[in-house]
Structure 1
Amino acid sequence: MAELRSSDLNILLVEPSAMQRKIIRKELNKERVDAIDEAGSVATALERIHAVKPDLVISCLYLPDGSAMDLLQQIRESDETSDLPFMLVSSETRHSELDQFKQSGVIAILPKPFNHDHLVTALNSTLDLLSNDELDLEFYDPASLRVLVVDDSRMARNVIIKVLGNLGIDQITQAEDGAEAITLLPQGFDLVVTDFNMPQVNGLELAEHIRNSADYSHLPILMVTSESRQTHLSNVAKSGVNAMTDKPFEPATVKQLLTRILEA
């Protein structure tokens, strides 16, 4: 199958400001993205999505009839669009406001105004999410890898599972938090991919449990986190995780990290 390129993407741009739409469209055109539909509200965006499913939704935060989160939640609740890549463009910087989007599995959060490199990175992440690029491992067959994905957000788990599936990994077990993950460990896994912030038992406590266990101490751990506080990240690093990546993550980065920790 031919390699998917930015020029192949069909994008829905959700932005009530004609000026902002013009600016974003101009930046997309620089990457030869010409198939761009537009909407100025949540209701119109949903109509467009149900008429023709786009490859990517790019949305501002505030809309006349709601917010980007209202739109994203309705997209994620539909079986037909639950895996639709979503990009937020916002001048919002507060962690409390942006974390809900990170936990919902957005492909990227771009600042407003953003530079062209930001957009290129986000488009490349979308292409990676839509493409199959199987891991090339010396010691493992990706199809035989048993992976435990731990995250209290169903939407975030779905994105991680989508990325793993594109890498040729389909033997995936899900856990909603660290407590459930601990009960599942006896099933036997080759890799744990876990969130940091979770109820009951968080990712740090799960990693420490694994490292202190005689049966599972060898198990590779990839931490996917929206946490930005340096103290927390330092504690995670000391817990023995093999690698960490941010939310939202770039699929290409996940592939590189998995290759490194599985071949170590």
Structure 2
Amino acid sequence: MSAADPTPPSVLIVEGDPWVRDMLREMLLSVRCDARLQVCADGSQAINALSSKPDLIIAARELPSGDGLDLLRKVRAQGEKSALPFILLSERSDPASVKETLRFHPTEYLSKPLNFDKLRKRLEVLLLHAGEEVSCPIPALLPGVKLKDYLEQRRATADGGPLFTDVQQAIKRALNPQGLNLKVLEEEVRDDPQITAVLIAAANSAALHRDAPVQTLLQALNKLGSTQSMNLILGMTLKRSARLSDPLLTQHATRYWNLSLHTAEYARSLARMLDLEQERCYCAGLLHSLGDLAVLRSLQEWRLAGGELDEGQVQQSLGEFGAAFGSALRTRWRLPLSLRELIAAIYQLGGGVYSREILAMNLAGQLARLPADQGLEKVADSKTARLLKVSLPELSRLRKVENPEGKPAEPEPAPDSDLP
């Protein structure tokens, strides 16, 4: 393969973990946005994909239904493809495993968790001339496509919500001479719904899910480790519309983010008062508006592709698709069912017997949505407060602590009725 070749390179990515697979895809496209990608989840798919004659292969050694080393061995056995660039990724860094691999001359052998910068620099050498940049225009919308149809399509593939954290600064503050301090990193990114959701989902992926489900950000960071956590967070910044730039959409996103933060803080305070698991309740409160945020991010994609958008369309899209996007994301990302149940409780109580955590989340949702100029009597008299035996004076103290400036609460979004 030559970087001077005007034909966009064809790249085969083979990785079993969906989150690492997605990160590799985004990194590669950030280096060479016009690359033609073929992505496989296991070794048998990869063997079949060799018939497409890729220009570069990036493959994990540890794969479902196969071994990346077998794939490398097969490629090197093919005469005309013996020099094909092949980057092998492996969880094994012991001398014996490395020596076994080097016999087949991989272009690069990288151990996991991946060195993000080293991989990127290697891709730049393989795919670009020195100083060369490849720009790719955003594909225009198909003629006649309607916003509703566009969102219906995006519901199954949306990347989630926008980022609110300055990721580079967060990582910089968490780095010290000994490495990345996960506790500091957790404090830096804990208020970002997208980062929290992605890391919890990644920590519960099949590759890592061997124990009890991960349900908090700190648990996820500890399960993933410093390098993998940092790679996943940095990988989120590579995606288009990772941050909202449209003022209209930014205004709505800030409103939902504030609502999420208020709900999370109320949930944690109630959990503390009732001797419940505080961080799990906080995470559930933070994630409950992720569907609305995902809609707003998709609306920016719509506008970037040439679609028109006004305030009425934004409001209508949020009302029609916020719940559906949230439910689809939580299911596709396989967030733990118990965490999804807490999120669902913020909107409404289902039937049956309620746990104290479920009731606490429902009460947190009521408090967060309550306008500042409205009294707490109705909330204190609600079924939820009565079951929890939380009195009007206790609610008043909570409200004073969590909303000391008397700012009005955000309007209640459309019920997320199809949760969890």
TM-score (norm 2): 0.28
Between Structure 1 and Structure 2, which shows a larger proportion of helix residues? 2
Q: Which structure has the bigger radius of gyration?
A: 2
Higher strand fraction (1 or 2): 1
Superposition TM-score, scaled by structure 1 size? 0.43
